[in-house]
Structures are given as C-alpha cells and as structure tokens.
Amino acid sequence: MKPVIIIGYGPAGITAGIYLKRNNINAMIIGKDLGALDGYTDLVENYYGFEQPIPGKDLIAQGVEQAKHMGIQVVTDSVISLKEIEGGFEVATAKHKYEAKTVLLATGKTRTTINKPGFIKYRGKGISMCATCDGYFYRRKKIAVVGCGAYMLHELEYLSRMSPDVTIFTDGNILEDEVTHKVVTEPIVSFIGTDKVTHIETTNGQYEVDGIFIALGTPSSVEFASQLGVIVEKNNLLVNDQYETNIPGLFAAGDIIGGKLQIAKAVYDGMMVADSIYQYLRKK
C-alpha cells in the first residue's frame, strides 16, 4: 500500500508531492490533464518569479516536469472511482487499481465554458474565465458577469470592487435581495466585437461591454468527492485546519476547497497539506 496518492497534478498536487518528497515520503501523483490552465495559452503575469509573463499551460507543465525531475512518480490517467478500504483507500482508473493509506484530492474546479458564437474568438480578448486574474484590467469599466449560483456570486463580489458598472447575465433565479446589480435574463445569442469583444447580443438586443467574466460553475470534481460522503459546502470540499476532510486520511487542497482560485493559494495549500499528511502518517 502506498503512503499517499495525490489526485491532480496542478499547482496544489505538485507542490504537495514536492514537500512530501522533502520529508522522504514518495507520493504517487495521478492527473488527467493540466487542469484549470490546460490549453490556456494566455499569459499568467501575477505569479511570483517570472520576469516575463508565462503562458498558463507552460507554467503548469513545468511544475509536472519539476516533480518528475525530483523522482516523484507522475502518472497521466483519469481517476474514475475512490473508495475506502481497510487501512486506507482504493483509487481506480479505467485500467488500474492502486491502494494508499492517504489520498489528497487536488482536482481543481471545472469551469464550464459557454457554447455561443464568438466565445472562442474573444476568450482572452475581453472574455475571461477568472475575475481575480483579470478583473483588475477592467477597473471602472463596463463589466458583464455570466452565470448563476455560488460561483457567479463569488466572482461578482470581486468584480464589484473593480467597477460600479457590473451587469449579471443569467438564466438562473437571482433573488433580488441577493444582488443590487442590473440583471439581464434573456438568453445570450452571441459575443460580438472587433479585435476584442464589445457587445453581448441577447434575444432582446445588444449590450455594450468592456469585459465579460464567465462563471458557470459545475465543479464535477466536487461531485466526485461527495460520492464518498465528503462534506461539501457551497461547492467546496470542507476541510479542517489540517486540510483533512470529514473522512480520516482523505485530504483536499487547492481550488477544490474554495477561497482564492489562484495559483499562489493552491501552492500554499499544497505546502501546508503535505505537512498534515506527514504528521498523519507518522501517527499511523
């Protein structure tokens, strides 16, 4: 039985693997892709240590290579089930089953994109998937946030600090006392622009915008964990101060536990959870 299996090789999972290795614990890390920044060629410019902004996917890929270089076992595969067994957990992919005393869920959050004309064309050109990353560029500008539910409200809270002019485009039920913003409920038809997005077209007309933030959260990895009976609150896995879920030996870190959805925070979580896992294994 392995001491630790880490599911996810984004910043949280890789950092945890590195800090565990420094404590002489060899984790196995399984990831299916580069996570939130998979295929994201736009530049990350708010992470420490890069003089020049770095394409998101390159930053994550370098983290994976760093772990491999340190001798950490990194496997590319999709975990399809996780269950408790005597003394730990069984982690299954389509072809393999692995056993471990502890599991770290560092599976990130799935951000749902929007399948409307113009989305692909203007993603990164006025359409953003992350308020904390790009909201700053739209200070005092005309902002639209598209979505509903807890994730949209999270993004709205941040964007409202950047501009007084934020409109919600939603097909969900937004309670009037929940927000004080303009709300547009007619369906979006397309995103229109020139070299960058300038308007949202709905079935009722066109709305001028400077920046659009998509916040259609359906975090499938949270659902995956909740099948095990992990307590979920507002689409985040609930963990204690040691990053442990309500199931002993099952830890979680990074975007999946909520808070700032940022690389720096995921890296911090990864470092902290490694220490907790180390302490847990010592007591076993």
Ligand X SMILES: Cc1cc2nc3c(=O)[nH]c(=O)nc-3n(C[C@H](O)[C@H](O)[C@H](O)COP(=O)(O)OP(=O)(O)OC[C@H]3O[C@@H](n4cnc5c(N)ncnc54)[C@H](O)[C@@H]3O)c2cc1C
Please give the size of the binding site for ligand X, defined by CB under 6 A: 37
Distance of CA 242 to the CA centre of its chain: 20
Which of 4, 5, 6, 7 binds ligand X (CB under 6 A)? It is 7
140: alpha, beta or left, given left = phi > 0 and alpha = psi -120 to 50? left
Question: Closest CB to ligand X among 55 and 193?
Answer: 55
Which of 108, 211, 219, 258 binds ligand X (CB under 6 A)? It is 108
Query: Are 191 and 180 in contact, with CB atoms under 8 Å apart?
Result: no
- Residue 18 engages ligand X in binding (rule: CB under 6 A): no
Which of 6, 106, 215, 252 binds ligand X (CB under 6 A)? It is 106
- Residue 114 engages ligand X in binding (rule: CB under 6 A): no
- Residue 31 engages ligand X in binding (rule: CB under 6 A): yes
The site string for ligand X over 60-79 (x = CB under 6 A, - otherwise) reads ------------------xx
* Touching ligand X, residues 140-199 (CB under 6 A): none
CA atoms within 13 A on the CB side of 240: 10
Question: Closest CB to ligand X among 33 and 165?
Answer: 33
- The closest alpha carbon to 63, from 263, 254, 277, belongs to 263
- The closest alpha carbon to 112, from 138, 81, 146, belongs to 146
Query: Are 144 and 208 in contact, with CB atoms under 8 Å apart?
Result: no
Shortest approach of ligand X to residue 270 CB, angstroms?
7
b vs e for 48-77, b when ≥16 Cβ sit within 10 Å of the residue's Cβ?
eeeeeebebbbbbeebbeebeeeebebeeb
What does the binding site for ligand X look like in residue numbers (CB under 6 A)? 7-13, 30-33, 35-37, 40, 44, 46-47, 56, 78-79, 106-108, 111, 129-130, 133, 221, 224, 254-255, 261-264, 266
